[in-house]
Structure 1
Amino acid sequence: MRKCRDLETRIASISNKGFQAVSIQTTISCLTLHAGDIIISSDRTLDENAPAVVIFTSGTTGSPKGAVMRRSFIFDCALEVADHYQLTEDDVALHVLPVHHATGVGINFFPSLVAGSRIEFRSGGFDEEQMWERWKQGASDTERQLTVFSGVPTIYMRMRRYYQQRISKLPADEIAKYAAGARQFRACLCGTSALPQPLDDFWKHLMQKPILQRYGATEFGAVFKMRLGDESVPEGSVGELASGVDVKLSEGDEGEVLVKSPHMFSKYLRDPEGTAKAHDRNGYFRSGDIARREGKYYFIIGRASLDIIKSGGYKISALDVERELLSLPYVAEAMVVGVPDEEYGQRVAALVSLQNEEMSAPFSASSDGSQYVLTIKDLRRDLRERLAGYKLPTLLRIADGEFPKTVTGKVQKKVLGPRFFPADYHRRPGVQEWDARSPKTLAKL
């Protein structure tokens, strides 16, 4: 209340003398209104297609763009999400994502509001230790129990790492308390980018239920979603088509995801040319993402401009290579990009960060014999039974620590690719190259 009044005084004194703050009470409940206090307006219903809110894209493939969302996004789209995840007034959602981005507002905030669910916000930077403690508290205190959680792969990765490094070394009775914290949720969601299979497997084992994955974008929300209780979702799938959405793939059962819906964005802010280019001649939004459909389930192959590598006449999904890299016990994070090459068109380049724990794979000895390091020879050897030869990385770089990410936890390949594998990569320290005729590394290890 005091902060509202302070805000009102400050704004009134600086820019808008007529500004009045809306007081936030400790509860939204109120006494029953008397008939004389109720006014029925004869004004026309507000246009559902009119602008309501602007959400800026995260800039994964370029500069952020302001997506102008319609009024129908605030209610109709939120109602569809709430219905899909069966949200009710009994749910308590733990909100740890930015509210000014699509997932934070379109998946976590508006749907909880229309369903009457409680929302607990966690402000400040993400802290995996605090998050585990809050989860554990919810399992032991019924008044603080949580039922819904939504995160991005980075959050789930950091929490798994903390569990492996710290919690797993505690006495069995203490570990059980944290496990109970992870199992209190009836629904744990994940979106914004692909959830690596090893990470998914870890949480499925710990939570005793799958993380509900989805696919979407700022401009059109989540159009593919896993359903609660669906035990037939194939491995690697992001679920089935959401209700009320028109989606087609450009080449039938595979191709670019093209979307129409009554509650998708209406335009890019002050960018009519960009808006026109983003749609095809039939009015479908061109997502730029390539997907595959098997029956009613969808699989994301990758971003057409970033995740499809053309090497030696083959089309290679960078996401497929990343999944196999992440299945290796010593790899914590992996990013695969295509690097221009005169002979092959593009080379498959892998940037990886390593697990902090003691490595479980035999690495090559360094030149002075003082330590063991991961070489591209080691990596290709460990991937050989998992990937076809033409998909194996021919460039490798080891990152120092966690990858740089956006505020929503996304890895920007368009930025990091050129940074770690520039045009003169063969002269850059740390880049290792595989040559089938004469295997070598370009950098001193």
Structure 2
Amino acid sequence: MRHRGLGNWIHRRREKSRGKTAIISPFGELSYDELADRIDQLAAALADAGVSRGDRVAYLGENHPAFLETLFATTSLGAIFVPLNTRLVPAEIAFALKDSGASVLIFSRVLEGLAVLAHRQLSTETEDVTEPSLGLLIAVNDGEPVDYARPDDSPEILQYEDFLASSAGAEHRDVPVALEDPAVILYTSGTTGNPKGAVLSHQNFTWNSFNVLVDYDVSSTDVAMMIAPMFHVASLGMGVLPMLLKGATVVLEPKFDPGRTLELIEKHQATSISGVPTTYQMLCEHPDWDRRDISSLGKLTCGGSAVPHRVMDAYEERGLSFSGGYGMTETSPGATSMQPAMSRIKAGSAGLPHFFTDIRIVDPLGEPCSVGEVGEIQIQGPNVIAEYWNRPDATAASYDEGGWFKSGDMGYRDEQGYLFISDRLKDMIISGGENIYPAQVEQEIAQLPQVGSVAVIGVPDEKWGEVPKAIIVLRDGFQLSVAEVREYLADRVAKYKIPPTVEFVADMPRTASGKIRKTDLRKKYAN
């Protein structure tokens, strides 16, 4: 075996799981051997089109079997896969395509307008282009395109199934690929400037998958509901890849709908599901919650923030407990995990380091913090990236001299080593010289039964420099006043941490993974 990376996974799994269902989606089912055959076909077609080792192939679309076929076919050639966030605008898509130097874009036909407009913008930006230009556009027929003004100079678009069948030879290619070679470029959403392309190697995803297999007891008999988009590292790294590595079955859903999700859990006897607190809240508040049989579920993983106690109560009433965790794109993405048995005992904690990963907490001078002392979380392990794409400056700034990755997150560890996240370093509020970590205040407000979601941001103040402000979305049919919020917090957090003002809003701006975009909230509400 010369190929030691992701591109060989399904080929090797074909022999061990022949006839076993790999993927279930609204577009049909694929067994492991059928999936392997399609991957080989696509790899042959991409190779015939000139794609070779080190080239970049981009994908723009929601969850679909073609996403995984493109990932594995691309990496089987030693090329690099670039998944794109479908919530971006054409200019942002164009930036990622240009920055990565992608020569192929495979996209959802529903998003044809976004792809074409991004390509058009890319073609007008000719200055300082040293990477290969985007020359091949391929549409996956997954629905009708959203209406858009098609430019007169629109590029030629090939159809995915036609392209797949265009190659005469579809034998599996054992191209030399080392674990250290780049596999995927994932663009991280920055708070300022353009996003950075995190280069995730075959090693990063492999060891992250090992961490998941060890710490979450993944089995080949698992049926995993994947309702979060695979272009987000949590869905791909913590869900899909470990499941396929183990030979389990993955149920792909293009969009999250709580009613349909409950229906599919019952229909397919799903054993595993992952999401953010909002996902789980929407499921347990849906009218079908008590009418659907979800007894097959055994693994519930949640990231992004702490699960409110009332949501935990709803699941525990049905015999279900949560596994938590902490991570980021740069850690592929897992850094810590929380076992279900400890979710109540260590409520609010992100758990212990993953089996093959280390974390530490350091002060501003880089010295280890004592138990309970807040400092920056730093991470080390074979699942941590080595670089950002064409950004040596960002790479150098992200590691200390000992090779520890500087997360930019603040937290502390208790006597048993459990990690508690205080906040992002950039989100910390300094009020009258006191540090306020919004996550603490948010976790307290989230316990109010009237609160659907909450975010706390810093706003300018003449006297204190900065004070916290709470942004709250109420649950349907509930009411809450500013006075009630402040009264509730009075004996739960220090007085200087209580937000003087509260803004009640209809909805929150969110990332594709469901996390609240505080940058957008600051722009709108921090005046």
1:87 Cα deviation after fit: 1.0
1:257-276: CA deviation from partner (whole Å, max 9, x where unpaired):
11111232121111111111
Q: CA deviation at 1:231?
A: 6.6
Q: Distance in 2 between matches of 1:82 and 1:379?
A: 42
Instruction: Tell me the amino acid that sits aligned with residue 399 of structure 2.
Output: H
Q: 2:309 and 2:253 mapped to 1: Cα distance?
A: 27
* 1:63–1:194 CA distance, 2 compared to 1 (3 A): farther
1:16 aligns with 2:49: yes
- Separation of aligned partners in 2, 1:133 and 1:113: 23
Indicate if the aligned counterparts of 1:351 and 1:396 stay in contact, CA closer than 8 A: yes
When residues 341 and 132 of structure 1 are mapped into structure 2, their CA distance, relative to the original with a 3 A threshold, is same
1:45 and 1:245 map into 2 onto residues whose CA distance is 27
Matches of 1:50 and 1:338 in 2, distance apart? 41
Q: Distance in 2 between matches of 1:118 and 1:378?
A: 47
Q: Which residue of 1 aligns with 2:210?
A: 79
What code does the residue aligned with 1:415 have? D
Residue aligning to 1:431: none
Match in the other structure for 1:300: 421
| Partners of 1:112 and 1:408 in 2: CA distance | 19
Alignment of 1:282-321 (within 5 A): 282-294=402-414, 295-306=416-427, 308-321=428-441
Q: Which amino acid is the alignment partner of residue 296 of structure 2?
A: Q
- Correspondence for 1:416: 521
Give the aligned partner of residue 250 of structure 1: 362
Aligned letter for 2:376? E
**Maintained 8 Å contact 1:70/1:264:** no
**Residue of structure 2 equivalent to 1:370:** none
Provide closer, same or farther for how the CA distance between residues 420 and 277 of structure 1 changes in structure 2, counting only shifts above 3 A.
same
**2: CA distance, partners of 1:231 / 1:299:** 12
Query: 1:351 aligns to what SS in structure 2?
Result: strand
Aligned to 2:502: 396
Alignment partner of 1:187 is 2:299: yes
CA offsets 1:83-115 (integer angstroms, 9 cap, x no match): 211111111111111112211110011111111
- Shift in Å at residue 325 of structure 1? 1.2
Give structure 1 stretches of 5+ with no counterpart.
25-38, 139-143, 169-174, 362-373, 423-445
Cα distance 1:350–1:62, how it changes in 2: closer, same or farther (>3 A)?
Answer: farther
2:276 and 2:312 map into 1 onto residues whose CA distance is 15
What secondary structure sits across from 1:336 in the alignment? strand
- Using the TM superposition, give the Cα deviation of residue 350 of structure 1 relative to its aligned residue in structure 2, in angstroms: 0.8
Secondary structure, counterpart of 1:386 in structure 2:
coil
Question: Aligned letter for 1:68?
Answer: V
Match of residue 285 from structure 2: 161
- Which of 132, 147, 171 is 2:262 aligned to? 132
Q: CA deviation at 1:232?
A: 7.2
Quote how far apart the aligned CAs of 1:61 are: 7.0
Q: Residue 147 of structure 1 corresponds to which residue in structure 2?
A: 271
Q: Cα offset for 1:16?
A: 2.4
Alpha-carbon distance, 1:218 to partner: 0.5
* Conserved? CA contact 1:215–1:222, under 8 Å: yes
Q: Cα distance 1:293–1:185, how it changes in 2: closer, same or farther (>3 A)?
A: same
Q: Structure 1 residues 228 and 396 mapped into 2: Cα distance closer, same or farther (>3 Å)?
A: closer
Instruction: Trace 1:286-435 onto structure 2 (pairs within 5 A).
Output: 286-294=406-414, 295-306=416-427, 308-359=428-479, 374=481, 376-399=482-505, 401-422=506-527
Asked if the contact 1:347–1:394 (Cα under 8 Å) also holds between the matched residues in 2, the reply is yes
Amino acid at match of 1:248: R
* Structure 1 residues 301 and 312: alpha-carbon distance in aligned structure 2, compared to 1, 3 A threshold: same
Q: Once the 2 structures are TM-superposed, how far is the Cα of residue 233 of structure 1 from its aligned partner?
A: 4.2
| Contact 1:203–1:210 (CA under 8 A) maintained in structure 2 | no
Aligned-pair RMSD on alpha carbons?
3.1
Query: SS state of the match for residue 357, structure 1?
Result: coil
> Is 1:51 equivalent to 2:186 in the alignment?
no
Preserved CA contact (<8 Å) 1:58 1:101: no
Number of the residue aligned with 2:325:
214
Is the 1:93–1:148 Cα contact (8 Å) retained in structure 2? yes
1:238 aligns with 2:350: yes
Q: Which moved more, 1:151-160 or 1:196-205?
A: 196-205
Report the AA paired with residue 339 of structure 1.
V
Distance of aligned partners of 1:103 and 1:203 in 2 relative to their CA distance in 1, 3 Å threshold: farther
Say if 2:378 and 2:405, in contact at 8 Å, map to a contact too: yes
- Give the residue type in structure 1 aligned to 2:471: L
Indicate how the Cα distance of structure 1 residues 18 and 82 shifts in structure 2: closer, same or farther if over 3 A, else same: closer
Residue 120 of structure 1 deviates from its aligned partner by 1.0
Alignment partner of 1:247: what SS?
A: strand
Q: Is the Cα–Cα contact under 8 Å of residues 309 and 317 in structure 1 kept in the other structure? A: yes
Contact map agreement 1:256 1:287 (CA 8 A) in 2 = yes
Cα distance per residue 1:245-285 (max 9 Å; x no partner):
13211132331111111232121111111111111232211
User: How far apart in 1 are the matches of 2:473 and 2:193?
Assistant: 24
State the match for 2:246 in structure 1. 115
Structure 1 Cα separation of the partners of residues 51 and 478 of structure 2: 63
Alignment CA distance shift 1:17-1:236 (3 Å): closer
**TM-score normalized with structure 1 length:** 0.74
Q: CA deviation at 1:300?
A: 0.7
User: For residues 86 and 304 of structure 1, do their structure 2 counterparts lie closer, same or farther at Cα, with a shift above 3 Å needed?
Assistant: same
Q: Secondary structure at the match of 1:219?
A: helix
What count of residue pairs does the alignment treat as equivalent?
A: 363
Alpha-carbon separation, structure 2, partners of 1:62 and 1:152: 27
Q: Secondary structure in 2 aligned to 1:88?
A: coil
Rg (Cα) greater in structure: 1
The verdict on how the C-alpha distance between 1:167 and 1:101 changes in structure 2, with shifts beyond 3 A counting, is closer
- Greater alpha carbon shift after TM alignment, 311-320 vs 203-212: 203-212
Change (3 A) 1:340 1:86: same
Give distance in 2, aligned partners of 1:51 and 1:395. 47
Gap change, CA 1:318 and 1:130, over 3 Å in 2: same
Partner of 1:261: 381
Residue 61 and residue 255 in structure 1: after superposition, are their counterparts in 2 closer, same or farther (change >3 A)? farther
**Which residue of 1 is the match for residue 147 of structure 2?**
none
Asked whether the 8 Å contact 2:220–2:246 carries over to 1, the reply is: yes
2:228 is aligned with what amino acid?
Answer: L
